[in-house]
Amino acid sequence: MTLDVRQRLILTLAAMACLAIAVPQECGAQDEPLELHFFWTPGCAPCREVRRDVVLPLVEKHAQIDYHEYNLADPDATEALVGFFISYGVPEDSWGGSSVAFIGDLCCIGTDEVESRLPPAVEKLLEQGWQVPDASKPTDVRSRIVELFDRFGVPAVAGAGLADGVNPCALAALVFLLSLLSISGRTGNEILATGLLFAGGVFIAYFGVGFGVFKGLQALRGYELAAQILYPLAALATLVLTMLTLRDYVCAKRGRPEQMSLKLPRPLLRAGHAVTRTLLRGRWFLALAVVAGAAVSLLELFCTGQIYLPTLIYLSSRGKLVARVIPMLALYVAMFTLPVIVLTVAVWAGVSSQAIRNWAREHAATSKLLMAVVFAVLTLALVAASL
């Protein structure tokens, strides 16, 4: 049967339509690149390996890939990662991983998933096409980070600050201050004002030191070697402190406080007493109370910093959102300062400094046990951060 030109044209168009239906369409493959977003941690050896052996070779092999890399030592990268988790609908209990890759509609969490799932996913997407992901950033990223940070961070930080505040090292200086004020014949209101101003000095100095150390730790996280050794060393240090504090607990329980290991060296103790005595003598004692509090708290850092520094390292591991870390740091310092305020009010209300000294001596073992628990928790947290 002979077909005229019109019939042949109709059959040709129909065949082309069938082919168009049969061949998979690349959704945006011709016009839009295939975006690969890879998040990794410099201090993680498996992350470096999967980046070098899997991710970068894929990018070099396929020119269609538009590659975006994020260093999780950068706080902005963490915020971006949370945004991707929200956009991809990843459950919160799966958020994490020292390396994460997003491509097409696929999310690979952890080096094992990136290594096993990413290469075949790239080949499949390039063969069948892909949807261009929504580039709009969720508006609730910061609120979700703050929510998660508060959920896991507030109890630990508040407990560590309170344990640090009832540290015998910190209480010794306060008891000496209150005894000095009582012996010097200061009125109840003068004692209250001096103690509160002293607490203000402690807060200012302790917060300033903590913020400076935190910023330094954040800077170290950007260096590969420092990121690798920081958290394991801190975890080892807190483990040693846990054991030493338990030993101190046994010494205090047996009535042998002089045998405790973690205590303020006598020269620093004398220096703190000398500073307090010098600054609070004379008519300008109220004006100098803040200076005395700041000076004494800095002298005590040898002892009180045993909890403070590991807590700051813990915050640096979780505190990618610096604006949220500042209130957390203030919470720690406020809890550290709280015993100063409470005991000052107690003396103002009529409790003698000798009674406070006896109470502190009787509860030295309890204080050491609380510190040991805090050190143990910090050890576990830092081990988790190092892994």
How confident is the model at residue 15, as a pLDDT? 46
Judged against a pLDDT cut of 90, whether residue 18 lies above it is answered with no
- CA dist., res. 249 & res. 262, Å (int): 10
Amino acid identity of residue 308, one-letter, is Y
Does 20 score more than 70 pLDDT? Answer: no
**For residue range 66-113, what is the model confidence (pLDDT) as tens digits?**
899 988 766 677 778 878 888 888 876 677 677 899 988 889 988 889
What region does 134 belong to: left with phi over 0, alpha with psi -120 to 50, or beta? Answer: beta
pLDDT tens profile 133-144: 554 444 454 555
Question: What is the structure's pLDDT at 140?
Answer: 54
Find the mean pLDDT for residues 23-28: 41
The answer to whether 304 and 167 are in contact (CB under 8 A) is yes
For 5-139, CATH number out of 3.40.470.10, 3.30.460.10, 3.30.930.10, 3.40.30.10 equals 3.40.30.10
pLDDT in tens, 327-369: 888 888 898 889 888 888 888 888 777 777 777 777 778 877 8
Lowest-confidence pick of 6-20, 197-211, 249-263, 347-361: 6-20
Cα(301)–Cα(309) distance, integer angstroms: 10
- The reported pLDDT for the residue numbered 19 is 42
SS (H, E, C) the chain: CCCCHHHHHHHHHHHHHHHHHHCCCCCCCCCCCEEEEEEECCCCHHHHHHHHHHHHHHHHHCCCEEEEEEECCCHHHHHHHHHHHHHCCCCHHHCCCCEEEEECCEEEECHHHHHHHHHHHHHHHHHHCCCCCCCCCCCCHHHHHHHHHHHHHHHHHHHHHHHHHCCHHHHHHHHHHHHHHHHCCCCHHHHHHHHHHHHHHHHHHHHHHHHHHHHHHHHHCCCHHHHHHHHHHHHHHHHHHHHHHHHHHHHHHCCCHHHCCCCCCHHHHHHHHHHHHHHCCCCCHHHHHHHHHHHHHHHCHHHHHHHHHHHHHHHHHHCCCHHHHHHHHHHHHHHHHHHHHHHHHHHHCCCCHHHHHHHHHHCHHHHHHHHHHHHHHHHHHHHHHHC
Distance in angstroms between the alpha carbons of the first and the last residue of the chain: 77
Mean pLDDT in residue range 48-59: 90
**What does the pLDDT look like over 281-329, one tens digit per residue?**
666 667 777 887 888 777 777 777 777 777 777 777 655 555 567 788 8
Mean of pLDDT over the chain: 74
When mean pLDDT is compared over 68-82, 123-137, 195-209, the highest value belongs to 195-209
Q: What is the pLDDT of residues 148-183, one digit of tens each?
A: 555 556 777 888 888 888 777 777 777 777 777 766
Beta-carbon count within 10 A of 2 CB: 4
Q: Which of 105, 69, 74 is nearest to 87 (CA)?
A: 105
Listed in order, the ranges of the chain carrying CATH 3.40.30.10 are 5-139
Most confident of 5-9, 146-150, 230-234: 230-234
